[in-house]
Structure formats: structure tokens, C-alpha cells
Amino acid sequence: MLNFGEVLTAMVTPFDANLQVDYEAAGNLANYLLDNGSDGIVVCGTTGESPTLTEQEKLKLFRVVVEAVGQRGKVIAGTGSYNTAETIHLTKEAEKIGVDGVMLVAPYYNKPSQDGLYAHFAAVAAATSLPVIIYNIPGRTSINVSVATLVKLAEIKNIVAVKEATGNLFQISQIRQSTPADFLIYSGDDALTLPILSIGGAGVISVSSHVVGKQMKEMITAYQKGEVAKAAQLNATLGPLFRTLFITANPTMVKAACNRLGVKVGGLRLPLLEAKPEEVAILEKVLQQLELV
């Protein structure tokens, strides 16, 4: 049975002072995350500011992280876009580099039909031997991959997982009920990781794990061992951080948190802006409460 792990981090892309990709920092960050609770890394997802990265930057990031990580953890390449042909091309190039899988966000902006969504994902899956994770986040894409569409996609051999960020626990429970037992469901929302575990989820593709990866791993392990009260307490303790990291556009706050903790990841490319002083103050308070600073 395929297993990417329980805590995958949607890794930020480090930039230097000129907002050029800092590849050395990216390799170091990937290993830091694996040292601190993560089982794998998602490179060039939206938390990695993928819309602002060129194809050449993405491919070099895939290569750098694969080389830096080696066999220590899984490397998942974010290769999805709203252009099927470009997604296929980037996926094929990522496969040549040696990533362990790809994550495909639902095509955004152009709002395809459910049949169009199916055809898009099926075409990409057919073009690669890599395992594929579907990323369903209608709050950003304006389109929901329906249960029926996802169940049909799960019949494709190398479509093996979904990152569910709908916030709809009923939909997620329907997916679990209607897909094979080895089809993996990952939480796409840190705050819903524990509830999603309770209805059959496999883990989380996380932003907060940049900061509290060990605690996220501890929470999941506690739940799996039947220590539900302990898991619930950890979830409650981490809740303020989960909320704070999304008080403005992601990855603004998680980059601020990393930089504050001495994990230098640099700034953000436009159209994203640095955290405002009042947002930094909120973050500082939460980091102090968690005794991280």
C-alpha cells in the first residue's frame, strides 16, 4: 500500500534579498522540515507561491529538493494549473527529475464542468507513471471536485489521494465511504486535521508544520494510538496558530513565522505583501503562548 506519510508540508519557496529563489535555502528548509515532524515535502504548491515561479525555477526547485532529501522523505511536485497541456508537460519533466509523486490542483479561474475536471485529471494521470494527488480547494479555484467525480477518478490506478480543503466534512466522509480503502484522504486545512482523521483521513498536507511539525505529528500519532483526549488537547493548543497563519493571504504569515524563528525564507513576490505590523504582533503573541520564542 502506497504511503506518502502522515505529515506532508506544503513548503514555502525561500527567496533572497532580491526575491530570487534561494535554492540552497530550499534544500536546507526541506531537511529542516524532515527533522521536525514532516514525512514528506510538497514543492511548488500554492504555499510555495507557484503562480509567481517560472517553469525553470520550478524544475530547479524539484531537482534541488530531491537531491537534498535523498531517501529521507517523499517529495511531491506541485505541477497542476488550469492549462492541461502545460500541466502534462511539467509533470513529465518532474518525473524525469525523480520526484515521488505530483499534486494537481483543480483547474482554477476557467471553472470547467465536472466532465472537464475528470478529463483534465485523467489526461495528466495517463501521461505519467507517478502517483497523483488531487487538490480540491474550491475557495481558491471556484470549482468543487464533486464526490462523484472524485470517486470516478479514484478508479484510475495512479490517482491515489486527495488533498481535501473544502471544509465539508460530509463530503469528505462520502469520499471515504465511496473510494477504495487504500485511497488516501489528506486534510488541506490544519484546523480540520483531527476531525478528518476521525472519518478516515490519512494525515495532513500542512502549512503550520513549518512551525509545529513535531506537535502535528504527535497529535496524529496520539489519535492513531487511541489517545483521543490527548490528540484533542494538542489540537486545541495549536488552534490559535492555525488561525493566525491565515489571517491574511497565505504564505505571508508562515513566512513571517519562519523568519522569526530563525528559519530564513525571505520575503514574498508580488502580488503578495509582507505581514503588517499589527499582524506580526498577533503572530508574536501566539508564538510566545506556544513557547516557540
C-alpha cell at 190: 490544519
Q: How many domains does the chain have?
A: 1
At residue 3, the pLDDT reads 86
Q: How far is CA 220 from CA 111, 168, 275, in A?
A: 35, 20, 30
In-domain check, residue 261: no
Q: How many whole angstroms separate alpha carbon 187 and alpha carbon 193? A: 5
Catalytic one among 23, 118, 135, 186? 135
- Give me the pLDDT at residue 196, please: 98
- The verdict on whether 118 is a catalytic residue reads no
The verdict on residue 278 lying in a domain is no
The residue from 58, 74, 152, 163 that is catalytic is 163
Q: Is residue 212 included in any domain, yes or no? A: yes
Tell me if residue 135 is catalytic: yes
E-strand ranges in 165-286 read 184-187, 203-206
Yes or no: say if 162 and 132 are a contact pair by the CB < 8 Å rule.
no
What CATH number did the domain enclosing 210 receive? 3.20.20.70
**Closest by Cα among 74, 127, 120 to 96:** 127
Asked whether residue 252 is domain-assigned, the answer is no
Q: Is residue 274 part of a domain?
A: no
Contact 185, 201 (CB under 8 A): yes
Is residue 148 situated within a structural domain?
yes
pLDDT at 1: 64
pLDDT in tens, the chain (293 residues): 678 999 999 999 999 999 999 999 999 999 999 999 999 999 999 999 999 999 999 999 999 999 999 999 999 999 999 999 999 999 999 999 999 999 999 999 999 999 999 999 999 999 999 999 999 999 999 999 999 999 999 999 999 999 999 999 999 999 999 999 999 999 999 999 999 999 999 999 999 999 999 999 999 999 999 999 999 999 999 999 999 999 999 999 999 999 999 999 999 999 999 999 999 999 999 999 999 99
Cβ atoms of 169 and 206 closer than 8 Å = no
Question: Considering the domain boundaries, does residue 244 fall inside one?
Answer: no
Residue 2 is predicted with a pLDDT of 78
Residue 292 lies in a domain: no
Q: Where in the sequence is the domain holding 85, given as residue range(s)?
A: 7-227
